[in-house]
Structures are given as structure tokens and as C-alpha cells.
Amino acid sequence: MEVDNIKLVLNSAFEISKRAFEELYKNEKHLFDNLSNEKVELCRKDVYYHTSFLIQAINLDSKPLFEDYTRWVFELFKSLGIPFESYVTSLNYILTVMNDTVGESIAKVARNFVNDSIEFYKKEEKVIQDSNPLQDYKEQYKKLLLQGDRRSASRLIDELISKRVGVKEIYNCIFKESLYDIGLLWQTGKINVAQEHFFTAATQMIMTQLYPYIFTHQKNGHTIVGACASGELHEIGVRMVCDLLEMDGYDTHFLGANTPAQGIADYAYLKRAKAILLSVTLSINLESLRKTIEVLRADDRLKGLKIIVGGRPFAIDPELYVKVGADYSTTDIEELKRIVEQ
């Protein structure tokens, strides 16, 4: 695939989804008969997000990213009582428009991605809900915080601790997984920004009640800078990693969400950092991450600095870190420490 062609597809996402929805609405009118204008608009946005996630996966040549998005759509649609077939129908209209607008060769690649993701869904449908050993607790935790009940959510985490569930399992299976779900719910307009902010703030507060279970040590001489690339607003994942590293003796400096690339470079140089941790939660921000890494690579002051990336997309596709220009990617704290200390 030619890079220029893929960039054209990325820049055409809005127009492709607009035309696809128009054709869907005209030819599948029965799907909209009982929907309010507000819900029809949400369907329009859904088609845009389907298109955007498909295009991003193609751009990075990563079928696992789109397979994971398809898995998430299945879970969401099931909870809302929406037939999964409506997602497949939308994808077919998107593919038809792509064939007409960006060329048969790219449309063929897109269809291959779509077909493989649907086959993946069919194989995985029976085990999707079982992939997280704390799935029921995760769903309960999400429900409580979406209802604004922080105290009950906190008690739920206390209950897990009393049952001797490890801190790492709570971080990975409850906090990380639920925050990913919430991020997509916000990104696709299923919840508003206030709900997303409350969920994140409440989780950060609840995390603090686990600190007594994590041992602290004296500083070990390794300085690490953590940040989210420009456009990425979901900071809590890399914040959790920095917290755990700090408690293991590392000198960590977390710069927060939506950090400009040059700001990250300047701060890493100022602190003589040995490594930079960069996080992405939503795959649509991977292009921004790639550009951030380009800036870091071009800075002569940072020669030898290790660039380590993490977040949901890299857990889905283990080879993705190479495509964005990073040195390493890991979701395991112990492996991360070994990388830093090499």
C-alpha cells in the first residue's frame, strides 16, 4: 500500500462516513423507523467511528486493532439491545463508498480487514465475556461509577482486597479495562464528558486506597518521564504505571494528558531522563503518538533515550510499537523495569 494513498483515506474519513450513512438511511429505512431524531444522529456518528477505526487500523496495517474494535462494538450493542448485524450492514456501506471514492485497491484491503474482523468475532463471540477473570466485577464497578456512586465502587474494591485479589489484577482487570470502555463510550458519544471525567477522577481517588498494599523503596537512580501524546486525554493508564514505578524506587515525572511533543523533549532533557513512557488509549491517537516520537528522535539532546509505549492498542497488537517508531512496548511492570535498567 502506498503511504500517500492511506493518508488520503485518513483525510477522507468524514466524507466517506457521510456518504455511507446517506446510502444506509436511504436503502435500509426500516432500521430507523422507530428511532427519534436524536438516535438517528447517534447512528450517523456510529458510522463515522466505524470508518475512523477501520481507516486507522489500515493505516497502521494492524488487523488486531480493528478486531478489538469489533469486539467492543459487539459488547456495546449487546448491552443496548442493538443487533450486531446492523454493524455489519454499516461496514458494507462504508466499503462500497470507499471503493467508489479512494479506489478499488485500498477498498480491497479494507474489505479484507472487515471480513477478518467479522470472522474473528464469530470465533470469539462465546468467549468474549470470559476473557477478563474479573469481568463481572468490572461491569459492576462501571455501573456504580456511571451512576455516580463512588462510595459503593470503593467498597467493591475493598471487597476484592479482602478476597485476596492482587493489586496488579485490580489495576489490569478493573481499572484499566473499565477505563478503556469508558473512553470509547465517551469517544462515540454514548456518555458525556462530565461522566467520563467523573469516572476517571473517582478511579484516581479509589486507586489511592490501594497504596498501603504496595511497598515503597528508596530512589534507585533511574529517572523516567511519563506523558500522553498530543490529543490523547486518557492519562490515568500511564499515571498508574508511574505510580507503581515510583513506589518501587524510580524517580518518575508524569506530565499529564495532551502534552506537546517539544514539551516532552525539553522536560526529558532537563531531568536527564533515562526513558520516556508514552501512552495511547484510543487507536485514533496513534498518528499523533508517531509524530511525537519523530520529534523526540530528531532531538540531538536525547540520543540514547529509551522510548517505551503502552496502552490498549499495544496490548492488542504486540508489533505495533515498531510501526510508531518506539523502542519497546510492554504491559508488564517487571518487564518495564528490566527495559529501563538495561
For residue 134, pLDDT beyond 70: yes
Residue 217's pLDDT is 63
pLDDT band, residue 186 (cuts 50/70/90): confident
Residue 8 has pLDDT above 80, yes or no: no
Confidence class of residue 187 from pLDDT cuts 50, 70 and 90?
A: low
Check residue 22 and give its pLDDT: 95
pTM above the 0.75 mark? Answer: no
pLDDT at 7 over 80: no
pLDDT at position 4 = 47
- Report the C-alpha gap between 14 and 223 in whole angstroms: 42
Collect all residues with Cβ–Cβ distance below 8 Å to 15 and sequence separation of at least 6: 101
> Which of residues 209 and 2 earns the better pLDDT score?
209
Q: Is the pLDDT of residue 3 over 50?
A: no
Q: Which residues contact 203 (CB under 8 A, 6 or more apart)?
A: 145, 175, 178, 179, 236
